[in-house]
Amino acid sequence: LPEGVKKRALCVDEEAGEVARRPEIAPPRAVPPGGTCYVVYTSGSTGKPKGVALSHAALCNLLLWQKAHSVKAEARTLQFASLSFDVSFQEIFATWSAGGTLVVPPAALRQDVPALLDFMASQGVERLFVPFVALQALADAVAHGARVPQSLREVVTAGEQLQVTPAVVALFEKLPGCVLENQYGPSETHVVSAYRLRGPAGSWPRLPPIGVPLPDTKLLVLDEKGRLCPVGVAGELHIGGAQLAQGYHERAELTAKRFVPDGYA
């Protein structure tokens, strides 16, 4: 323990009688699938923070899909996101639940992109979850001579619109065995869709789509009157199904306004 921390010895043999009186069976699980797993705060486009409550069932649905969908479910994964960001849940539990290894870099490396790339290469990182701005920074660093982590097999980007820039193309041309996937989902759902880019990196669209829904997830594009938009007509994306949050923590009025009944069930 660090200096200054009060230390105390626990003598197990002296507490043997108390230990023997404890039950020998595991306690029952008291957390139902619909129970809240976490609350993450987001301001979205309003600038006013609100807590989004995600259930165990929604997040288990995500983890089961990620495990079956990943290039290598038990991959060595870099833990890049802050614990206050919902992507950290996906990094940590998608890795642990598949028996993979979570590689945690020193905090300073997150601000030193060439050093982070060198760390990834030395640690054999195989999977990476990053927002586009971080992916672009990695690609720019490689373009200026930084080390390429040849162990990478899967890069997942989310949180902002993916752009396939010349630097990103050049990076993936140096990683011929690595795939790039665009995942989408607001904090109210975590991930709801995915689009995996295929073929030579030079042929990828500059602005890739958000892809197709996850299992048991519904995506509808509706007009201002709640009607389905024809193909090619702009509208508002409505999300339903297993990935939907329970609502906003202690904000019943806002929940009722934003979490509306599904007229297309």
Q: Tell me, what CATH number does 239's domain have? A: 3.40.50.12780
In a domain, 263, yes or no: no
What is the extent of the structural domain holding 116?
33-258
Give the model's pLDDT for residue 221. 96
Using the structure block, give the residue that is written with the tokens 């995996």. 196
Q: Is residue 154 included in any domain, yes or no?
A: yes
> Helix, strand or coil for residue 167?
helix
CA pair distance 153, 177, nearest whole angstrom? 6
The reply to whether 8 falls in a domain is no
User: Can you give the pLDDT at residue 1?
Assistant: 64
With a CB cutoff of 8 Å and minimum separation 6, the contacts of 60 are: 33
Q: Which residues contact 53 (CB under 8 A, 6 or more apart)?
A: 36, 38, 39, 245, 246, 247, 248, 249
Q: Does residue 4 belong to any structural domain of this protein? A: no
Q: What is the mean pLDDT of the chain?
A: 93
- CA-based nearest residue to 152, from 174, 137, 131: 174
In a domain, 80, yes or no: yes
| DSSP strands (E only) in the chain | 36-42, 50-55, 76-78, 101-103, 127-130, 154-157, 179-184, 193-197, 212-213, 217-222, 236-241, 247-248
Identify whether 119 is part of a domain: yes
Query: Residue 92: inside a domain, yes or no?
Result: yes
From the list 135, 150, 130, 33, the residue with the least C-alpha distance to 90 is 130
What residue type is assigned to position 156 of the chain?
V
CA 94 vs CA 16, 84, 129: distances in Å:
39, 17, 11
pLDDT for residue 37: 94
Pairing, β 36-42 against β 50-55? antiparallel
Are 159 and 133 a contacting pair, CB within 8 Å? no
Residue 71 CA to residue 75 CA, distance in Å, equals 8
Q: Would 28 be classed as within a structural domain?
A: no
| Residues 106/206, Cβ–Cβ less than 8 Å | no
Q: Are the C-beta atoms of 129 and 87 separated by less than 8 Å?
A: yes
152/74 Cα distance (integer angstroms): 13
Number of domains the chain contains: 1
What's residue 47's pLDDT? 78
C-alpha dist (Å) from residue 139 to 28, 118, 123, 169:
49, 13, 19, 8
Q: Model-level pTM greater than 0.95?
A: no
Distance, CA of 158 to CA of 137 (rounded, Å)? 15
Spans of the chain, pLDDT less than 70: 1-2, 10, 265
Q: Are 134 and 158 in contact (CB under 8 A)?
A: no
